[in-house]
Amino acid sequence: MKYMKLGSKPDVFQTEGSNIRFVATELATDIVISVGDAKFYLHKFPLLSKSSLLQRLVASSNDEKNDEVDISDIPGGPSAFEICAKFCYGVIVTLNAYNVLAARCAAEYLEMFESIDKGNLIYKIDVFLTSSVFRTWKDSIIVLQSTKSLQPWCENLKVINHCIDCIASKASIDPSEVEWSYTYNRKKLPSENGIDSHWNGVRKQPMVPSDWWVEDLCELEVDLYKRVIMTIKAKGSTPAAVIGEALRAYAYRRLLGSLEDAVSNGVDCTKRRAALDAIVFLLPAEEGSVSCGFLLKLLGAACLLESGESHRVNLIKRIGTQLDGASVPDLLIPLNTNEDNISSIDLIMAIVEEFMSRNGDSGTEKFQDDEGIVDIEKSTSVSSASKLAVAKLIDGYLAEIAKDPNLPLPKLIALAEMVSSLPRPTHDGLYRAIDMYLKEHPSLSKSEKKKLCGLMDCKQLSQDACMHAVQNERLPLRVVVQRERQLHWQLQVSRDDDDDGGRGEWGPDVERHQLSEVDEAGQQQRWEREEQRQQ
């Protein structure tokens, strides 16, 4: 950290109690400066020789009694005024990133200009800020953090803008040109700890990662963080993926950590809502700049915090464009509701609908440019790999939510039907979800079971799934007959094509045995008896 020492005289400022400050000299004090509860017993000459404000206040005070001046509204309070007072006395005072801005604002308040005395405090602080503090990464961040308690002075002095621009400029340069100790929050690289397994006796300068700055900026409050990221984006040299990583790091630090507990315990979430607003606003427009899993976490946060509809719509659209990059746990969105997974399914259905709308969709889309609203041809083709991935994803999600005893059957069927047109190598995933729902909802009627089982195609079940199905007592009998026919056909093909004597391989969940021909008349009698029993 950079620092600057001012003055050369020993410190003669002393404290009496908690609120009295005085200068220990033989010369009696002749002015009292009140700053809130603190009182400074000082001398007029050193103070008035450097402060235009104190000159005017003393001139307008009552000459019949000891002069007392109240400047309780000075920015930085008693500590900042004491720095200015010590400078006036020539006492040694040390400025650093933590106190320099408060001293600068206090000096501005006291009007310690060059016109009053050459080499006055404002000039010296400005030189220190420009030549040292704003050139140092860590000091710039500390100074920017200190502006929060010094509003509106910092804005009027343009210090915040200058500080933000310095930080953004450093974050925007090519990482290969970063030569300073580039971050103070990161863990050391193995090579810096002397345990690099690839070290061959020649110590090389460690590579600076492109996202070296993201953890440090997480120290900033949301309003300042937003301004810094906007400035970095405006400079145009930072990849969108790095901006996305910065937002992800900030979200986990300021938003997502213990969010569910905070909401459930009634903790004030004002700052978390502000962080969510800023992060959603700052998301890069480039597709893939942030992961689908992260977007889903933001959507969950928006629901937990009961944010505006615009956030949810924005996030749903973005997630729909990259749904193939999600995992099943990503889709299990926690919600601030008593309806458990029901509202969560509604969100997933909206996302799937967005994804499906891109499947073969084409046409025009309206955009705003400098000349007004224009129609632009859009292409929204979805790759086969993406379709396969989403089909597998939703099948896995259905199997997870099927465990919920409060999940209505129409919700599960509606979601499954939304992706029914997507290609699948097998319907085993659907069968797994159906079987899980039947297990958790044993009271389903015969017609409900038939609707549920109608989601899958017998011909698209693998041999292992068929073997499991023919022994599954939870399935409707007619469905079991279909499975037996399908399995018999598969085993017949296996006998014709293989050299294993007609022996079929069974899955791990069923016995190994050989099926005989299905007695259709016998199966029909079983079906009729089952219908009578259920009636």
CA distance 146 to 135: 17
Low-confidence residues in the chain, pLDDT < 70? 62-66, 180-206, 336-343, 359-381, 477-535
Residue 468 has a pLDDT of 82
Residue 187 has a pLDDT of 60
Which positions ≥6 away from 137 have C-beta within 8 Å? 167, 170, 180, 181, 182, 183, 213, 216
Q: How many beta carbons lie within 10 A of that of residue 113, not counting itself?
A: 16
Residue 333 has a pLDDT of 87
Amino acid at 80: A
Q: DSSP per residue over 104-152, as a string?
A: HHHHHHHT--TTTSTT-HHHHHHHHHHHTGGG-HHHHHHHHHHGGGGTT
Model pTM score: 0.80
CA distance 379 to 530: 53
* Domain at 1-135, CATH homologous superfamily: Potassium Channel Kv1.1; Chain A (3.30.710.10)
Residue 515 has a pLDDT of 39
Residue 363 has a pLDDT of 47
Residue 98 has a pLDDT of 96
Give the start-to-end residue ranges of the domains of the chain: 1-135
Kindly report, residue by residue over 277-310, the tens digit of the pLDDT: 999 999 999 988 999 999 999 999 999 998 888 8
In whole angstroms, how far apart are CA 39 and each of 12, 107, 386? 16, 18, 71
Residue 177 has a pLDDT of 85
CA distance 226 to 238: 16
Q: Please answer whether residues 441 and 405 qualify as being in contact, where contact means their C-beta atoms are separated by less than 8 angstroms.
A: yes
CA distance 108 to 293: 49
Amino acid at 150: L
